[in-house]
Amino acid sequence: MFFCAQCNRACQVYADFSSSTCLVKPAMQKGKVELYTHAMVREVITNDQGLATGVVYIDKKDLNEYRIGAKVVVLAASACETARIMLNSKSKQHPDGLSNSSGVVGRYLHDSTGTDRMGILPELIDRPRYNEDGVGGLHVYSPWWLDNKKLDFPRGYHLEYWGGMGMPSYGFGFGMDTMRKYITDELGKPTANGGYGAGLKNDVRRIYGSTVGMSGRGESIPQYDNYCAIDPDTVDKYGIPVLKFHYKWTEHEVKQSKHMHDTFEEILTGMGAIILGTKPGPETQYGLAAPGRIIHEVGTTRMGDDPKTSVLNKYAQAHECKNVFVVDGGSFVSQADKNPTWTILALSWRTSEYIINQLKSQNI
Amino acid sequence: MDRRENIKVLLTGTVATGFLLSSGCKPDVDTTTTDTEIKGYGRVPQEILHDKKISSETFFSDKEKKMVTILVDIIIPKDEKSGSATEAGVPDFIEFMMKDYPKFQTPMRGGLMWLENFSLASYDKSFMDITHEQRIALIDQIAYPDTATVEMKNGVKFFNLIRNLTCTGFFTSEMGINDLGYVGNRPNQWNGVPDDVLKKFGLSYDQRTLDTCLKIEDQHKIAKWDAEGNLIG
Ligand SMILES: Cc1cc2nc3c(=O)[nH]c(=O)nc-3n(C[C@H](O)[C@H](O)[C@H](O)COP(=O)(O)OP(=O)(O)OC[C@H]3O[C@@H](n4cnc5c(N)ncnc54)[C@H](O)[C@@H]3O)c2cc1C
Ligand code: SF4
C-alpha cells in the first residue's frame, strides 16, 4: 500500500485522468505542439477587420508581456476566465469586448444546484474490513422515480452517494463529541458523547465506515441577470482587470433544494439510517449552496443561432470573430443536472474537428 | 523548457513584441521542481516555501508540548492493538497543524492555559505536577460535552479540539491506518466485496459484473495503445 490519496490535485504516478496527463502529454509526444506554461493571457488581439491575430500574455515568472501570433485562437480558460479575457479584449472593432455587441458575454452564468445530508447506519457499525476504495462520491445509477408533473419546480437533479471505508485523511475521527452516542451497548444504551481513553480509541474503529451521505446536484435555470462583468476598480497582480459577480438563485432552485432534502430523508430513513443534523428550512433556502459552491460554472459565452442573444454559434465559433472559438463550459446554454466535464470534452472534440474542416476549406 | 528555448520558440513561431527583447530576463526559477524535504508529494514553489517556513518555526513552548503529550496519550493510549498517540507522532502532528492552520493557535494555547489555571485552582499545583488520578479528575469535567456544567464550557471546547486533533493525527498515521485495518490503496487490486460479507447482507454479484469488473487474472495487465492512441491490448 502507498500512503497517498493525492488524487484531487493530479496524480503523481499518472494513475487517474487529468487533462495534463492524458491529453497534453500524448499531444506533446507527437512533436507538433509548442506549450507555453506560466502564461497568463490578458486579451485576444484583433486586426482592422476584427479578426483575431493572436493573444497577449503575461509570463508569470518574469512578469513581462508577450505576444503570440495565431491564425486561430481557441479559448479554454474556463467559463468565467474566458468571459474575462473576451471582455478585456476591447478594440475599435470590438468596443464592448470580443464578439460582444449582443452584450451577452458574461451573462447566463450558472452553476449546478447543490445540497447534502448524511446519516449513520447502526447496522454498519463494527464492519468487517475489505477494500472499499472508490465507494465515496460515486454516481450510483438511480433512475428518476417521480412524476415530473407533480413537481413544483422545473428540471431535475441527481444524487451522489458517499460513505465507505476510504483511506482516512485529515478530519477522520473528528466529531466524537456528537457521534459517539450512536454506538450502543448490548442493551441499546448509548455511549456518552466525547470521552477519552481506550474506549474512545475503540469507538473510532467501530464507527469507521458506518456513515453514509448523499448530495443532490441539479439543473438550475440560466438567467440573463446572473452574470460576471469586469470590475472597473480592481486589477489582479498581473494588472488584468478582474471580474465581479451578480448571481441570485430563483424560486425554482430553492424549491428544488427543498425537494432534495425530502428525498434525502426518504432514502436515508428507508435505508435504516439515523439522519444527522437538522433539516434546513426557508431561512437558508433549504440548504441550497451559494452560487459557485458546486464549481460547475458554465454559460458565460453561450452558443445559439441568433447573434443577438448568443456569443457563439453551434460549433462554439464566435459570431463576430470567426477565427475565435471557445471550448470550455462557457458555451453551455443550459447544463443538465450532470457535472460538466465530459460534455466540455465532447463539445471541444466536436469544435476541434470543425476547426480542421474550416481550415481545410479555407473558411478561416 | 528553459528561457532561451522559450525565446527561440517565441521568435520562430510567433510575433514577439519589442517589450520582450528589451527586457532583461530574470534568472530562471525552476518552478517544476518537486524537490522538498517533505517527501512523497509534488509541491508547487509556493507550497515548498510554506512547508519550509512552518517546519522552521516552533509554536509550542516546551511546557505546552509536554502538556500536549500527556493529554494526547490520555485521549489515545496504547492498547492491545496498537501504540499510543505519542508513539504515532501525534504531538508533532498537532505542532504542525498549529502552523498550517493558524486559527487553531489561540483556542489551543488558550485552552492549555485554561486547563493549567483549572489545575492551579483545584490543586494549587501545575497540571504538570499533579498525579494521573488528579489529571483524570479534571479531564472528566470537560470530556463529556452533554453532561459538563456551564462553567466548564471553555474546557469542553478545548477538549473537543484536542480530541479531534488527536484522533485524526493518530488514525491518519501509518500506525493508525494499520490499526483501523484499512485495506485500500493497493494499485491494480480490487477483489470485490468478500463472500461472507455479501452473504451476511443477503447479496451476491451477478455474472456480468463478475465477468467485466472482477477478472482477478487481468489485474496487473497494463493497457497498451498505439501511437494514434488506439487501444491495442
Ligand atoms: C474541486 C472540483 C471538483 C469537480 N468535480 C467535478 C466532477 O466530479 N465531475 C465533473 O464533471 N466536473 C467537476 N468539476 C467541474 C469541472 O472540473 C470543470 O467544470 C471543468 O474542469 C472546466 O473545464 P474547463 O476546460 O472549462 O476549464 P478548466 O479545467 O478550469 O481549465 C482552464 C485552464 O485554463 C487556464 N487558464 C485560466 N485562465 C487563463 C489565462 N488567463 N491565460 C492562460 N491560461 C489560463 C487554467 O490554468 C486551466 O488550466 C469540479 C470542479 C472542481 C473545482
Ligand atoms: S490515483 Fe492512486 S497513486 Fe494517484 S494520487 Fe490517487 S491514490 Fe495516489
Residue B210, all three cell numbers: 463478475
Most informative mutation of A3, A8, A13 for ligand 2 (most atoms within 8 A of CB): A13
Q: pLDDT band at residue B131, thresholds of 50, 70 and 90?
A: very high
Residue-wise pLDDT for A20-65, tens only, equals 888 888 889 888 999 999 999 999 999 999 999 999 999 999 999 9
Is residue B98 within 8 Å of B108, Cβ to Cβ?
A: yes
The per-residue b/e assignment along A221-239, b for 16 or more CB within 10 angstroms, e otherwise, is: bbbeebbbbbeeeeeeeee
Distance (Å) of CA A190 to CA A179, A224, B156: 10, 53, 20
**How many angstroms separate the CA atoms of A11 and A4, rounded?**
9
Per-residue model confidence (pLDDT) at position B19: 29
Q: What is the mean pLDDT of residues B155-174?
A: 97
Sign of the dihedral defined by the CA atoms of residues B63, B67, B68, B70, in that order: positive
Please tell me which residue, B5 or B158, carries the higher pLDDT value: B158
Per-residue model confidence (pLDDT) at position B9: 33
Indicate which ligand has the atom closest to the C-alpha of A4: 2
**How many angstroms separate the CA atoms of B184 and B187, rounded?**
9
Most informative mutation of A8, A9, A11 for ligand 2 (most atoms within 8 A of CB): A11
**How many angstroms is it from A340 CA to the middle of ligand 1?**
10
Residue-wise pLDDT for B58-105, tens only, equals 999 999 999 999 999 999 999 999 999 999 999 999 999 999 999 999
Taking residue A27's Cβ as centre, other Cβ atoms within 10 Å add up to 14
- Which member of B3, B167, B183 has the closest CB to residue A204? B167
Residue A38, all three cell numbers: 506560466
Distance (Å) of CA B149 to CA A191, B71, B111, B140, B156: 19, 21, 17, 11, 9
Q: pLDDT band at residue B39, thresholds of 50, 70 and 90?
A: low
Residue A237, chain B, CB below 8 Å: the answer is: no
Q: Which of A218, A171, A197 is nearest to A334 (CA)?
A: A218
Per-residue model confidence (pLDDT) at position B213: 81
A345 within ligand 1 shell (Cβ under 6 A):
no
pLDDT at B146 over 80: yes
Q: In this predicted structure, which of A309-323, B10-24, B111-125 has the lowest mean pLDDT?
A: B10-24
ipTM of the shown complex: 0.85
pLDDT at B28 over 80: no
Per-residue model confidence (pLDDT) at position A253: 98
Q: What is the largest CA-CA distance in chain B?
A: 80
Per-residue model confidence (pLDDT) at position A138: 66
From chain A, pick out residues whose CB is under 8 angstroms from the CB of B146. Answer: 181, 192-194
Q: How far is CA A51 from the centre of its chain?
A: 31
A1 within ligand 2 shell (Cβ under 6 A):
no
CB contact under 8 A, A133 and B197: no
Interface subset of B 59-88, CB within 8 angstroms of A: 74-77, 79
Per-residue model confidence (pLDDT) at position A173: 96
pLDDT at B15 over 70: no
From chain B, pick out residues whose CB is under 8 angstroms from the CB of A27. Answer: none
Q: What is the DSSP letter of A23?
A: I
Q: pLDDT band at residue B16, thresholds of 50, 70 and 90?
A: very low
Q: Which residues contact A167 (CB under 8 A, 6 or more apart)?
A: A5, A133, B177, B182, B184, B185
DSSP output for chain B: --HHHHHHHHHHHS---HHHHHSPPPPPP-TT----SSTTS---HHHHHHHHHHHH---S-HHHHHHHHHHHHHHS---SSS--TTTTTHHHHHHHHHHHSGGGHHHHHHHHHHHHHHHHHHHSS-GGGS-HHHHHHHHTTTS-TTT--GGGHHHHHHHHHHHHHHHHHHHTSHHHHHHHT-----TT----S-HHHHHHTT----HHHHHHH--GGGTT----B-TT--B--
Q: How far is CA B215 from the centre of its chain?
A: 34
- Which member of A128, A131, A202 has the closest CB to residue B184? A131
Q: In this predicted structure, which of A42-56, A89-103, B22-36, B134-148 has the lowest mean pLDDT?
A: B22-36
Which residues of chain A register pLDDT less than 70? 1-5, 134-139
CB contact under 8 A, B146 and A201: no
CB contact under 8 A, B19 and A64: yes
Per-residue model confidence (pLDDT) at position B5: 36
In this structure, are strands A274-275 and A157-163 parallel, antiparallel, or unpaired?
unpaired
Q: If you measure CA to CA, which chain A residue comes closest to B93?
A: A170
